[in-house]
Structure 1
Amino acid sequence: METITYKIYSSVSQLPHSWDVVALENAFLQTSYLKVLEESAPTNMQCFYIGIFENQNLIGAALAQYLDLNKLESFGERDKCLKTYTRNLVFKNFASHALFLGNNMITGQNAYIFNKEIDFEKIGRILRQCAHEITAYFKKKHIKIHIVSFKDFYKNCAVELKKTAFSDTYEFNTQPNMIFELKPEWSANDDYVAALSKKYRDQYKRAHKKSEGIQTRELFLGDIILMESRIYELYYHVAKNAPFNTFFLAKNHFSCFKKHCCDRFILIGYFLDNHLVGFHTLLLNGETLETYFLGYDEQIQKEKMLYLNMLYNMIQFGIENQFKKIIFGRTALEIKSSVGAEPVMMSGFIYHNNKLIDTYFDKIFPRLEPTLVWQQRHPFK
């Protein structure tokens, strides 16, 4: 470790000139996206950018996010039950100041990237050292970090990290990441539809029939600025009805995203009688298509099967633009599996800075997780 050092930055303008060269393979760690976070992060979030050096040469980039859950008006309004009430009470009192090494806003392994092979022992030690330094920074500001989470690692990485730096840290698995692998033989959307079994081909046809009267079109920066209030209203409706939230986007988030990421950020609007009733967003991340936030009018969604049609439209975009896979994220697992996405388990590591609580974290944490009951679908022949 003597040649490996790191530096924590609080502003994108401070980052080394070679940052984007190192972060080339992950759009969520490039400066264009980090500027989006800096200018339009949720009001309860503060971001830190970590440069990792070998002999003073930048070789890695990482992201950390601090969240103040005391500033959150709601953790989620969908599930009204004793377990949800208890969970919210615990979070407010014992986990309201949280530090994430990684990106708490998205699903996927986006905590760090290197431009060369680094063994997992060094990676784990760097992440833990950064967590300690940021925790100490907040302590000087009289803010006590309650929980520290190292977020979203695929199985192979989690196994290696568990062997060394995280050997004594609680490993958790939440809902799987739904990933859609696009078949190389699909050159057009009709190829995807033909690959579906009759039951799911009928579902596809039924959804398209229901969507009659809905027009879709890509919204550009001027459009997004013009419709930003309506876009946010549709997003917020979906977000507040999620089972659990740790943040809400800023109202200028989507226009800021389009301004900085330009053609790599796609926002598709869904219109009924020239009125915006839904939207979905995508980020082009190399050969991977990343789904981002969406929103819709609940009544129109039910009548027009809007959400299902959004999934089909994302798949069509992926096929026509020759992406290899689509990251659909953690929500709505069953309906995403019905269009062909497969669950991929991801792990994280978490500890509480109260040693007594941390000792029993393996018993406490599972009791706070929302109960997940779903049936995986298998739509292909």
Structure 2
Amino acid sequence: MNTDTTYKIYPAVSEVPTNWDTIAHSNIFLSTAYLKALEKSAPANMICHYIGLFQNQELVGIALSQFLDLNKVGSFGERDNCLKTSVRNFVFKNFSSHVLFIGNNMLTGQNAYALLDTISNTDAVALLFQASEALKEIFRKKRLKIHLTVFKDFSETETEYFKTPDFASFYRFTTQPNMVFDIPESWQHETDYIQALTKKYRDQYKRSHKKAEAIQKKKFSLDDIQAHNPVINRLYENVAKNAPFNTFFLADNHFYKLKKLLKDQFLFYGYFLDDKLIGFNTLIKNGTAIDTYFLGYDEEHQREKMLYLNMLYDMVAYSINKGFSKIVFARTALEIKSSIGAKPQEMYGYIRHSNPLVNRHIARLFKSLEPETLWQERNPFK
């Protein structure tokens, strides 16, 4: 590694270098606007730090770290009530409750760092390893022992940067893939998408839209989000608590702060039935890509009106009509996302336990604790 490279850790967004955003331009999730929103509305069990990478005292890279205290999560997920879930929850609470992420545990994809061309990825990852060790010491002084250190999410190509002695004791893992919809350049309008579907999936599209005929969709302003905030939080929690596994829950003001700081880059859509808010979804513009963010819905209407599927179709329509190149649908609900055209992209992470004895068995432990997802990939196109 270049001996003139160093790092610096910042505890607040207000303290990062003034030219931070010149590097963050390629990823909104590393921009000061997003990081400020996260800082002001982070989950109750999360502490963020911001890492500057320097070469000859010039800022050449930026990164995000998140500390999560799983002891403060009331429920890891209520959907699966079985012995394996109980064992997993016990292990996390007692042996792996303090987790340090280099990256963003709230998102899927490489949102850990961004660089200028003047520093190599290998040098940057080496600096981030050093920074992770320094962060462990920062938390130790606060009497918080880090149990797990995790670097996430990286593509197969990006895993090459981790083939160094620093990461020899880390376990490379993969979980559910990132579901990504690449939009063909020739598509100009939603109708191009509908015409590309096979009859079976075009019928699914028509059937779902017919089910939702009575639903009105509204684009929310900042004031709308504030006015509907109690219902928004209830709908979000309904979905979050039914997830197979949770490491955090969003703060009550999260969407309000995002809209306030990201403005038109953050889109919030409410779905109404008889003037009652029954669901919502959110999108974030990230350069030429659309990232789907959190959503919520009333379970009764979701089933009856095929609400979730209609939300996915709405996301596809918006992204095509507005000229975006791809949609990042993230993890979860793999099969239904596959049925509307998203393709799986494997993502990898690196994990290490602070206890060497536990770490020797980390591969077996990780596989036994990771919720297994069985699904069938679909291809809706001709």
Same fold (TM over 0.5): yes
Q: Distance in 2 between matches of 1:117 and 1:335?
A: 42
Deviates more, 1:110-119 or 1:132-141: 110-119
1:12 pairs with 2:13: yes
| SS of aligned partner of 1:127 | helix
1:246 pairs with 2:235: no
CA contact (8 A) 2:100 2:150 kept: yes
Aligned length: 381
User: 1:299-338 counterparts in 2 under 5 A?
Assistant: 299-338=300-339
Q: Distance in 1 between matches of 2:116 and 2:216?
A: 43
CA contact (8 A) 2:289 2:327 kept: yes
- Percent same amino acid among aligned pairs? 54
After superposition, the C-alpha distances for 1:72-127 in whole angstroms (9 at most, x for unaligned) are 10000001111111111100011101100000001111000002153333122111
Partner of 1:102: 103
Gaps of 5+ in 2: none
1:138 pairs with 2:139: yes
After superposition, the C-alpha distances for 1:310-355 in whole angstroms (9 at most, x for unaligned) are 0000000100111110000101000000000000000000000001
CA contact (8 A) 1:124 1:165 kept: no
Gaps of 5+ in 1: none
Q: Distance in 1 between matches of 2:205 and 2:262?
A: 32
Deviation at 1:32, TM superposition (A): 0.3
Partner of 2:289: 288
Partner of 2:79: 78
CA contact (8 A) 1:70 1:96 kept: yes
Deviates more, 1:153-162 or 1:185-194: 153-162
Amino acid at match of 1:256: K
Q: Distance in 2 between matches of 1:124 and 1:257?
A: 29
Q: Distance in 1 between matches of 2:375 and 2:251?
A: 31
1:87 pairs with 2:88: yes
Partner of 2:39: 38
Q: Distance in 1 between matches of 2:118 and 2:204?
A: 45
CA contact (8 A) 2:170 2:350 kept: yes
Deviation at 1:166, TM superposition (A): 2.2
Q: Could you list the runs of 4 or more consecutive aligned residues of structure 1 that deviate by over 6 angstroms after TM superposition? A: none
After superposition, the C-alpha distances for 1:260-285 in whole angstroms (9 at most, x for unaligned) are 00000000000001111000000000
1:49 pairs with 2:15: no
Structure 2 length-normalised TM: 0.98
Q: Distance in 2 between matches of 1:231 and 1:37?
A: 18
Deviation at 1:163, TM superposition (A): 4.7
Partner of 1:275: 276
Partner of 2:151: 150
1:257 pairs with 2:258: yes
| SS of aligned partner of 1:143 | coil
Deviation at 1:159, TM superposition (A): 2.9
CA contact (8 A) 1:120 1:161 kept: no
Q: Distance in 1 between matches of 2:304 and 2:168?
A: 50
Deviation at 1:165, TM superposition (A): 3.6
After superposition, the C-alpha distances for 1:121-153 in whole angstroms (9 at most, x for unaligned) are 312211111110010011111111100000100
1:357 pairs with 2:362: no
Amino acid at match of 2:331: R
CA contact (8 A) 2:49 2:64 kept: yes
Amino acid at match of 1:50: I
After superposition, the C-alpha distances for 1:237-269 in whole angstroms (9 at most, x for unaligned) are 000110000000000000000000000000000
Q: Distance in 2 between matches of 1:198 and 1:251?
A: 42
1:233 pairs with 2:238: no
CA contact (8 A) 2:339 2:380 kept: yes
Partner of 1:366: 367
Amino acid at match of 1:342: K
CA distance 1:303–1:276, shift in 2 (3 Å): same
Q: Distance in 2 between matches of 1:155 and 1:327?
A: 17
Amino acid at match of 1:203: Q
| SS of aligned partner of 2:163 | helix
| SS of aligned partner of 2:111 | coil
